[in-house]
Copies of this chain bind each other. A is one copy, B any other.
Amino acid sequence: MEIIKQFELSKEYLESLQQAIEAEDLNFIQESLDGVNVADIAALLDELSMSESIFVLRVLDAQLAADIIIELEATNQHRVLKELEVQEMANLIELMDSDDGADILNLFLEREREDIISHFQDKVKSDQILELLRYDEDTAGGIMAKEYIRANKNWNVVQTINEIRRQAENVSKIYSIFVVNNRQQLMGIVSLKRIVLASDETKIEDIYEEEVISVPTYMDQEEVAEVMRKYDLESLPVVNSKNKLVGRITVDDILDVIREEAEEDIQAMTGISDTVDEYDSVIKLSKARLPWLLIGICGGLLGAGFIGFFEEGLSKVTALAFFIPLITATGGNVGIQTSSIVVQSLASKSIFDDSMAKRFLKVLLVAILNGLILATFVFGVVVLFYKTDVSFAMVVSIALFSVVLLASFMGTITPIILDKIGINPALASGPFITTANDLIGLAVYFLVAMSLLHI
């Protein structure tokens, strides 16, 4: 028995594995990796060179190699597979669950995909995968697998256990059995626990639950994740428009979806245009970050041109420049806060949504309250510590209050509009909006100054 074997995979082991590959010591490779979890072997291979990885995969049992490839990092998956012969690749993909096989094939061009599938030996598997490839990758159809146990409602427990036995090799994890009628329409669900506890002759129709939650093939994966989380499901049947059972989604797929979506949101919020991590190359990291930085820079240059219009006034009242960072920073902070709350509520839509008008009223009230508090505070500090006259302090306070209001408004409508037109609303908390809010803030500040100070 071992407690999480991952901690045993040390840098020392990595080195001895590389030596074994060099010396073509097949025994060492096979024996030292025996019993190690596939996820850990995959993490190990991600550290090896391409040719070393290929060598290890070829040495290991084919089923194990297929499982490892599924767990590799996305970039490595494609690189490793491209090095293999087409027939070799087809053999490995055939050993995967249909959903994983389809994911892997999605890494290739359509022409390459068809070539690989034509090398399949198993007609059933190739049909299954071809079906899955038809669905959009981000929908229930795109993440479901064809491996599941279905039982006809007229069967008894023994017949069902025989079906499980027949499918045991294909379906690695069984949580529940989906119950269908003669037309393969989903009728309900029966847990494996109930099957175990029932007597052999019990009819499925006497023990299955009719209240089954299913999703249509076209449902977005983020919604699927929310359904599984909300209803505490470990496996979820997917049906087509005629309510025919076409696949199942398991909770481990959903964990990956949730992680992906959370990472995408954070990357959208921080203005990183590509999925990168610290271990990517300098060039890739730089390229992923430049676009948004350039947008910020262009915003800044526009802002410079804008302030330039007020050069004359600025040269009369230099103190105006002092509070530029205060105005722009507050606009940015308020905008990000508001939009992130809206994004969050878009992600977990309540059944009883408040009307749009009611939502805006609330945002407005919060903005007025916070704006008043902040503006009063700033007015006091500016009068007391910066020894300016009261009318100047008024300019800063009024501009600040207006910026809080406008930034709240922008932070509310932007994610809602983005969501409506099918763009990830988390982008609304990103640098694009911060830049827009900077410009709005500057405009408000100088217009208020112009009209109140008559400059």
Interface assignment of A126: CB less than 8 Å from any CB of chain B:
no
Interface status of A447 (Cβ within 8 A of chain B) = no
User: Which of B285, B315, B362 has a CB less than 8 Å from the CB of A315?
Assistant: B315
Copies per assembly: 2
What 0/1 readout, one digit per residue, does chain A (262-306) give for beta carbons within 8 Å of chain B?
110111011110001111001101100110111011011101110
- Give the contacting residue for A216; candidates B3, B39, B314; CB below 8 A: B3
A:352-394 near B, CB below 8 Å: 352, 354, 359, 362, 365-366, 369-370, 373-374, 377-378, 381-382, 385-386
Q: Which of B232, B304, B365, B429 meets A270, CB within 8 Å?
A: B429
B297 with A326: CB separation less than 8 A: yes
Q: Which residues of B contact A345 (CB under 8 A)?
A: 277-279
Q: What 1/0 flags go to A148-183 for Cβ under 8 Å of B?
A: 000000000000010011001000011100000000
CB pair B370–A293 under 8 Å, yes or no, is yes
CB of A207 within 8 A of chain B?
A: no
Query: A211 near B: Cβ within 8 Å?
Result: yes
A14 nearest in chain B by CB position: B352
Residues of B close to A230: CB separation below 8 A: 6, 39
By a CB distance below 8 angstroms, the chain B residues around A211 are: 2, 5, 35, 37
**A135 CA / B328 CA spacing, docked (Å):** 45
* CB <8 Å contact, A196 and B192: yes
**Contact yes or no, B301 A381, CB < 8 A:** yes
Q: Does B4 lie within 8 Å of A213, measured CB to CB?
A: yes
**Least Cβ–Cβ distance between A191 and chain B, in angstroms:** 8
**A214 on the B face (CB < 8 A):** yes
Tell me whether A333 and B431 are in contact (CB under 8 A): yes
Is B213 within 8 A of A285, CB to CB? no
- Interface check A341, CB cutoff 8 A: yes
Query: Of B40, B251, B362, which is within 8 A of A282 by CB?
Result: B362
Q: Tell me, yes or no, whether A101 is within 8 Å of chain B by CB.
A: no
In the complex, which residue of chain B has the Cβ closest to the Cβ of A325?
Answer: B303
**Does the CB pair B2–A276 fall under 8 Å?**
no
Given known A-B contacts A234-B173, A333-B292, A362-B278, A326 and B305 have beta carbons under 8 A apart: no
Question: From residue A241, how far is it (CB to closest CB) to chain B in Å?
Answer: 11
A340 to chain B, nearest CB (A): 4
Interface size on A, residues (CB 8 A): 142
Least CB distance from A372 to B in Å reads 10
A405–chain B nearest beta-carbon distance, Å: 13
Interface assignment of A402: CB less than 8 Å from any CB of chain B = no
CA distance A10 to B174 in the complex (A): 35
Task: Say how far A170's CB is from chain B's closest CB, in angstroms.
Answer: 12
- Check: A197 CB closer than 8 A to any chain B CB: yes
Q: A318 is contacted by which of B231, B265, B314 (Cβ under 8 Å)?
A: B314
Tell yes or no: A327 within 8 A of B by CB: yes
Question: A2-B211, A272-B337, A290-B370 given. 5 additional CB < 8 A pairs?
Answer: A1-B210, A161-B196, A195-B196, A294-B374, A297-B326
10 contacts between A and B (CB under 8 A): A2-B212, A168-B193, A265-B266, A271-B337, A278-B345, A279-B354, A285-B366, A307-B325, A321-B321, A328-B329
Q: Which 6 A-B pairs have the closest CB atoms?
A: A300-B326, A321-B321, A304-B322, A278-B345, A232-B252, A270-B340
Using CB atoms and an 8 Å cutoff, list the residues of chain A in contact with chain B: 1-7, 9-11, 14, 35, 37, 39-40, 43-44, 47, 161, 164-165, 168, 173-175, 185-188, 191-193, 195-197, 210-216, 227-234, 239, 243, 251-252, 254-256, 258-259, 262-263, 265-267, 269-272, 276-279, 282-283, 285-286, 289-290, 292-294, 296-297, 299-301, 303-305, 307-308, 311, 314-315, 318-330, 332-334, 336-337, 340-342, 344-345, 348, 350-352, 354, 359, 362, 365-366, 369-370, 373-374, 377-378, 381-382, 385-386, 429, 431, 434-435, 438, 442
